[in-house]
């Protein structure tokens, strides 16, 4: 390891430093060649040029210097204009300080070894970082100002550097820097993180699932802040008919609102939805921008969802507060949406659970009531409807959803049928069936698009009165 002071000679006349290991390169001392040498041999026309020369005092400097941490290597990178930050990161020398302070120590050591080095004209712009490290304070000021209104404990950075800057820095660092020295991008990120840590308490930096994502354009110094969403899992019970699961944009104005008479400026076909009855108290409590609702399937607007409820994940976008008591939040939702929607089993979740919720196909239990075209004997009705238990249905895409569903025939199994009740021309029964079964069409057949059907086995018209989801067997 090289000494951290001027070179000295031992009693036997040898230089007491490790730089002599590079003697095969014909260096006779640790001092740089005198600055007065101005005669430069004219290069032949076919001399090879690698594009790595740097201009110093009006002349081209391209020493065959050893890489850092050799003293002559450090002297070389100083002469080409390396800033203190870059000098420390490529210098390969251990000092008590880091960053610019560490580089200043290396520079002072080099000056003490070579008195002429301090007098040399140093370029204003660092060839490695183009003085980018001078903007760390400015960038951190912008980050703190942009995140000041948000609660967070983890942060992740993304830095964009111009391609030519990365290539130029890599060329100089690999040729003249110490082996294993850090590239510009991670070093710049570390400098920003250290400055933030010194000014913001309790923040840590992660590579995935951060509370806040920061992206920085090093060319323009633009700082963009992306507050990552929060996810809450739960189950909801819809107790009242006529409420859609998610927001339903106004058909007349397509959600634009304004002077629309149909929606009275709300932009909504229905003023209430399960999404907002649950999401609005959450959005207000966490001071968020908006919510998205992800349910395990959905029931029709005129269908209730009972039992233990339908699993869902609520995505809270742009929350300024990231902590709340979920038990108290559940009570607030149930109180404000009393008689309409209830939630239970709330817990914190993650984005990947949205995919699980969307992809899970669970059997469901229903109770349905319909009116037959004529009164039929109870035994005949019971026997006919029971015959559908265990049958596989072939269901073409129903007319009522043909505008948003692909036209194809789906096969769905009716697992069981029970609790058949006949009251005059009104009939009610419960069934359990495969996910994706169109239960209303099972009853009225949708003009023969579903077969077999209750209409088919009873031999009479059937009009659905109501339908309830009794349970979703997702566990």
Tens of pLDDT, residue by residue over 311-331, are 999 999 999 999 999 999 999
Residue 163: which residues within 8 A CB-CB, separation 6 or more? none
Class of domain 132-226: alpha beta
The DSSP output letter for 355 is H
Domain assignments of the chain as residue spans, ordered by start: 1-35+51-127, 132-226, 230-359, 363-473
pLDDT for residue 49: 38
CA 153, CA 201: separation in Å to the nearest integer?
9
Residue 95, Ramachandran bin (φ over 0: left; ψ between -120 and 50: alpha; else beta): beta
Residue 259, Ramachandran bin (φ over 0: left; ψ between -120 and 50: alpha; else beta)? alpha
pLDDT value of residue 269 = 87
Picking from 118-122, 350-354, 367-371, which range would have the lowest pLDDT averaged per residue?
118-122
Residues 6+ apart with CB under 8 A from 131: 83, 124, 125
Distance CA 332, CA 324 (A): 12
Report whether pLDDT(35) > 60. Answer: no
Q: Where are the alpha helices (DSSP H) in 254-370?
A: 274-285, 326-336, 352-359
Question: Which range among 18-27, 149-158, 250-259 has the greatest average pLDDT?
Answer: 149-158
Question: How do residues 332-359 score in pLDDT, each as one tens digit?
Answer: 999 999 999 999 999 999 999 999 999 9
pLDDT for residue 470 is more than 80: yes
Closest CA to 458 of 369, 377, 394: 377
pLDDT at 194: 93
Lowest average pLDDT, out of 3-17, 169-183, 364-378, 399-413, goes to: 3-17
Closest CA to 236 of 325, 304, 286, 323: 304
Class of domain 230-359: alpha beta
Across residues 360-375, what is the average pLDDT?
95
Burial of 29 (0-12, 13-18, 19+ CB in 10 A): exposed
pLDDT tens digit sequence for 211-239: 999 999 988 999 999 999 999 999 999 99
Neighbours of 128 (CB within 10 A): 30
Q: Is the pLDDT of residue 288 over 80?
A: yes
- What is the rounded CA–CA span in Å between residue 296 and residue 363? 11
* Dihedral sign for Cα atoms in the order 296, 300, 302, 307: negative
The answer, yes or no, to whether residue 2 has pLDDT greater than 60, is: no
Exactly one of 135, 170, 217, 300 is catalytic; name it. 300
Q: Same CATH topology for 132-226 and 230-359?
A: no
- CATH number for 363-473 (one of 2.60.40.10, 3.30.70.3190, 3.30.1310.10, 3.90.1580.10): it is 3.30.70.3190
Instruction: List C-alpha distances in Å: 325 to 2, 286, 312.
Output: 59, 11, 19
Residue positions counted in the chain: 475
Q: Is 392 exposed, middle or buried (0-12, 13-18, 19+ CB in 10 A)?
A: exposed
Tokens representing residue 347 in the block: 């817990």
pLDDT of residue 413: 96
DSSP 206-250: -SSS-SEEEEEETTTTEEEEEEPPEEEEEEEEE-SSS--SS--B-
Cα–Cα nearest to 367, from 273, 474, 443: 443
96 assigned to active site: no
Residues 468, 365 contacting (CB under 8 angstroms) = no
pLDDT of residue 474: 84
């Amino acid at each position: 390891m090289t000494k951290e002071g001027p070179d000295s000679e031992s009693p036997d006349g040898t230089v007491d430093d490790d730089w002599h290991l590079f003697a095969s390169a014909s260096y006779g001392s640790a001092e740089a060649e005198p600055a007065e040498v101005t005669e430069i041999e004219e290069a032949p026309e076919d001399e090879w040029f690698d594009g790595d020369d740097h201009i110093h005092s009006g002349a081209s400097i391209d020493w065959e210097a050893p890489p850092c941490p050799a003293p002559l290597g450090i002297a070389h990178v100083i002469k080409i204009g390396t800033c203190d930050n870059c000098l420390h990161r490529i210098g390969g020398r251990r000092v008590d300080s880091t960053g610019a302070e560490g580089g200043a120590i290396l520079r002072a050591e080099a000056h003490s070894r070579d008195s002429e080095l301090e007098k040399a004209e140093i370029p204003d712009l660092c060839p490695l970082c183009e003085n980018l490290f001078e903007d760390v304070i400015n960038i951190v000021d912008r980050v703190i100002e942009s995140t000041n209104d948000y609660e967070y404990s983890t942060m992740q950075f993304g830095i964009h550097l111009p391609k030519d800057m990365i290539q130029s820095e890599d060329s100089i660092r690999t040729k003249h820097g110490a082996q294993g020295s850090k590239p510009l991008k991670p070093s710049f990120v570390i400098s920003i993180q250290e400055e933030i840590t010194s000014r913001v308490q309790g923040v840590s930096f992660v590579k995935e699932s951060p509370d806040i994502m920061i992206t920085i354009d090093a060319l323009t110094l633009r700082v963009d802040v992306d507050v990552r969403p929060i996810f809450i899992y739960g189950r909801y019970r819809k107790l009242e008919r006529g409420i859609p699961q998610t927001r339903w944009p106004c058909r007349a104005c397509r959600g634009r609102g304004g002077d629309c008479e149909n929606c009275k400026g709300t932009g909504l076909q229905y003023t209430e939805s399960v999404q907002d009855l649950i999401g609005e108290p959450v959005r207000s409590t966490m001071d968020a921008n908006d919510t998205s609702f992800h349910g395990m399937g959905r029931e029709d607007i005129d269908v209730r969802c009972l039992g233990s409820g339908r699993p869902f994940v609520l995505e809270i976008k742009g929350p300024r507060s990231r902590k709340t008591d979920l038990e108290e939040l559940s009570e607030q939702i149930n109180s404000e949406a009393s008689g309409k929607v209830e939630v239970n089993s709330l817990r914190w979740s993650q984005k990947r659970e949205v995919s699980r919720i969307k992809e899970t196909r669970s059997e469901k239990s229903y109770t349905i009531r319909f009116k037959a075209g004529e009164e039929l004997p109870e035994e005949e009705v019971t026997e006919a409807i029971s015959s559908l238990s265990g049958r596989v249905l072939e269901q073409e895409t129903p007319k009522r959803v043909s505008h948003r569903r692909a036209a194809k025939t789906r096969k769905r199994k009716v697992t069981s049928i029970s609790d058949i009740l006949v009251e005059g021309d009104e009939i009610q029964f419960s069934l359990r069936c495969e996910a994706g079964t169109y239960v209303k069409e099972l009853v009225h057949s949708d003009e023969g698009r579903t077969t077999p059907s209750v209409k088919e086995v009873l031999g009479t018209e059937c009009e659905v009165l109501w339908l309830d989801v009794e349970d979703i067997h997702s566990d």
